[in-house]
Chain A
Amino acid sequence: MLRVRFHGRGGQGVKVASRVLGTAAFSQGCYAQDFPLYGAERRGAPITSFTRISREPIMERGVISQADIVIVMDETLLHDPMAMPLSGLKKGGIVFINTSHSQEEAGAEYKITAWVITLDLTKIGIEMLGRNILSTLAGAVASRIAGLEEDSLRHAVEKEMSDIMTDRELIEKNIEASLYCYNAIPPVEIKTSGTREAGTVITMPFETAGVSSPAIYAIGNTPLRKTGNWRVFRPVWNYDACTKCMMCAARCPEGCILVNEEGFPYTDYENCKGCLICVEECPTKAVKGVLEVHA
């Protein structure tokens, strides 16, 4: 059995990616299982989803703690202690990273000893689909690594996209972009063993409500969470064009745009989620969205 885990952020298409892979495997006669795991968070927050593929009926259930293939759709998650995408990767397993770095660079940067494959899905998504939704691209990469056929992928993208959109043109673009990604990855051999080691079951003791229900005594401490790594684009101000009207600061849902000593607006990049309402709302077009390049 192949166990594949996808890591990305809400809105990037993590759930659909695992589904494209599952459908591709199913359409060439395999058994397949796919499902997402949401935290209590929204678009931009870390999301994991899973696909199991096997020639035999799949009796295993629950999250995949030991993966043969890990697909990292958002590079910033490699630093995220909550996401920990590499945990439980099996010996001989493969890591795919969506990055502008080469395999060697990424392996060295993130100190990964497993086999690393890289491709800049974000760039391909923006260029070929016009947006940073990577579901079909990541599904394509995973299909290639899992050794599935090109036709199965084409069929899966067609089917899954038709289920969620009516725009034929966009469906075609997704097929084209996914096949491009599929063929950009050289075929690989996965050297993991098919069996899974027994895990330990953690039981939670029963506690009274006073102990088990969470109470927060702090005041306004969410800035510590640093949602800045949700961004795909960062807002950048051109002070030559800015008239200090403060429209951006007023319209920011997060309230993270502040005023500097000279009276110009700037954002708290530690927490700015990159919604770019400031770019849209600035009357003099003094704010631009610039693609983030991570680490």
Chain B
Amino acid sequence: MEKTPEAAPVRSIKDLPSEENILPGTPVCAGCGGLLTLRYCLKALGSNVVIVNAAGCFTLLSIYPFTPFKSSWLYTAMACAPAGAQGVRDALDVLIEKERLDPEDDLKVVVLTGDGAAYGMGLASTSAAIHRNLDFYYICYNNEAYGNTGFQQSEATPFGSKTGTTPPGKTSPAGKDFPEKDLFEIWNSHKPPYLATISPAHPVDLINKFKKAEKYRGPKLFIALSPCPPGWATDPSLSVKLAKLSVDTGIWALKESVYGEVEHTYIPKSFKPVEDYLKLQGRFAHLFKPTRQEETLKRIQEMVDDYWNRYKLLL
């Protein structure tokens, strides 16, 4: 179901659209990887959007009487942003039908949530929205825990991470002792028109994915691994570096899927060891000090290798 022809791809960071649709002065943390992701996404989406935001860090973006957005924004409860998006989409469609809104002035409906909502509480309402083929975008900034409430584990928290609710100790020295859900695969099983993983370290890949998604009617879904300085216990200046390392170690695979057909959009020429990424973060510090947890480190590396072997992409 083609809507508009695909726009020419962006080739380098210099060609990123110069428009800014989210302004400085937000209350989110210095160095927030999610904010950088959102800044790029809004460069691609423009300002004719309605953001439907589930409870999480980003509901702090608009706090009366301030907003960083040039567009509209609506706050919903944690589990039901896709249901909110349905309401907004329906309202816009009714207005267009009654000729009270020029189709030229139609708005894109964009759900914005953290991973706590996307992987957990909001999964059912997202599944239903994809199933109904709701014409909307979904951006999940995945900081791999409940950031807003002080970094408790979510269903995206990786194996080996310390969080407020997975403290490393005698019974589970690794911290969280089982891996995250594979939300990409769960969403992909619905065969949505467009689904992609993105990274704030790869804005060119990100923008081009949005441009490609634009031509499809129906759900267009994005998951971004987003460094979170307070939760990951990292220096704010390292957020981009960590996002790069998540891709270069193979931990975060950049890929897309069109109606269920998966393709990788970036395959590192040589994979860096996962330790390069883990050792920079306080949430994994217990894996290295006071003693190295060899088994756990080995298992994390194996999980990454298994993933790429499954796709026969490990060179």
* Chain B residue total in the interface (Cβ 8 A): 46
* A166-B168, A253-B35 known; A223 vs B69 contact (CB < 8 Å): no
> How far is it, in angstroms, between the C-alpha of A216 and the C-alpha of B74 when the chains are bound?
10
A255 neighbours in B (Cβ, 8 Å): 20, 22-24, 39
B285 neighbours in A (Cβ, 8 Å): 165-167
**Contact in complex: A253, B230 (CB < 8 Å):** no
Judge whether B312 is part of the interface by a CB distance below 8 angstroms.
no
Which residues 250-295 of A sit at the B interface, judged by CB distance below 8 A?
A: 250-256, 268, 271-277, 279-281, 289
Judge whether A44 is part of the interface by a CB distance below 8 angstroms.
yes
Judge whether A87 is part of the interface by a CB distance below 8 angstroms.
no
Which residues 24-61 of A sit at the B interface, judged by CB distance below 8 A?
A: 40-45
Question: A273 CB to closest chain B CB, in angstroms?
Answer: 4
Which residues 223-263 of B sit at the A interface, judged by CB distance below 8 A?
A: 229-230, 235-241
Chain A contact residues, majority secondary structure: loop
A247 neighbours in B (Cβ, 8 Å): 13
> How far is it, in angstroms, between the C-alpha of A47 and the C-alpha of B168 when the chains are bound?
28
**Contact in complex: A277, B290 (CB < 8 Å):** no
B27 neighbours in A (Cβ, 8 Å): 40-42, 45, 225, 227
Judge whether B29 is part of the interface by a CB distance below 8 angstroms.
yes
Judge whether A148 is part of the interface by a CB distance below 8 angstroms.
no
**Contact in complex: B23, A42 (CB < 8 Å):** no
> How far is it, in angstroms, between the C-alpha of A205 and the C-alpha of B145 when the chains are bound?
37
A250 neighbours in B (Cβ, 8 Å): 13, 16, 203
Judge whether A211 is part of the interface by a CB distance below 8 angstroms.
no
**Of B57-65, B79-87, B93-101, the one with at least 4 CB within 8 A of chain A:** B57-65
For chain A, give the interface size range: 35 or more
Which residues 226-250 of A sit at the B interface, judged by CB distance below 8 A?
A: 226-227, 230, 245-247, 250
Question: B76 CB to closest chain A CB, in angstroms?
Answer: 13
* A216-B67, A224-B66, A246-B13 known; A253 vs B237 contact (CB < 8 Å): no
A107 neighbours in B (Cβ, 8 Å): none
**Contact in complex: B65, A227 (CB < 8 Å):** no
Question: B171 CB to closest chain A CB, in angstroms?
Answer: 16
> How far is it, in angstroms, between the C-alpha of A223 and the C-alpha of B68 when the chains are bound?
8
B235 neighbours in A (Cβ, 8 Å): 276
B30 neighbours in A (Cβ, 8 Å): 43-44, 230, 273-275
Judge whether A195 is part of the interface by a CB distance below 8 angstroms.
no
> How far is it, in angstroms, between the C-alpha of A277 and the C-alpha of B31 when the chains are bound?
7
Judge whether A214 is part of the interface by a CB distance below 8 angstroms.
yes
> How far is it, in angstroms, between the C-alpha of A226 and the C-alpha of B26 when the chains are bound?
9
Name A216's closest neighbour in chain B (CB-CB): B67
Question: B277 CB to closest chain A CB, in angstroms?
Answer: 15
**Contact in complex: A220, B290 (CB < 8 Å):** no
Judge whether A173 is part of the interface by a CB distance below 8 angstroms.
no
> How far is it, in angstroms, between the C-alpha of A140 and the C-alpha of B290 when the chains are bound?
26
**Contact in complex: B24, A277 (CB < 8 Å):** no
Neighbour of B29 across the interface among A10, A167, A214, A276, CB < 8 A: A10
**Contact in complex: B67, A222 (CB < 8 Å):** yes
* A40-B60, A42-B60 known; A271 vs B237 contact (CB < 8 Å): no
A281 neighbours in B (Cβ, 8 Å): 240-241
> How far is it, in angstroms, between the C-alpha of A11 and the C-alpha of B228 when the chains are bound?
12
**Contact in complex: B31, A41 (CB < 8 Å):** no
Judge whether B32 is part of the interface by a CB distance below 8 angstroms.
yes
Which residues 155-178 of A sit at the B interface, judged by CB distance below 8 A?
A: 165-168
Judge whether B269 is part of the interface by a CB distance below 8 angstroms.
no
Q: Could you list 11 examples of A-B contacts with CB < 8 Å? A: A43-B29, A43-B229, A43-B230, A45-B27, A167-B285, A216-B62, A222-B24, A222-B68, A230-B30, A252-B36, A255-B23
Q: Beyond the given A222-B24, A225-B27, A250-B13, could you list 6 further A-B residue pairs with CB under 8 A, ordered by the A residue number?
A: A42-B29, A223-B25, A227-B26, A255-B22, A255-B24, A277-B237
List B residues at the A interface (Cβ < 8 Å). Answer: 13-14, 16, 20, 22-33, 35-36, 39, 57, 60, 62-70, 168, 200, 203, 229-230, 235-241, 285-286, 289-290
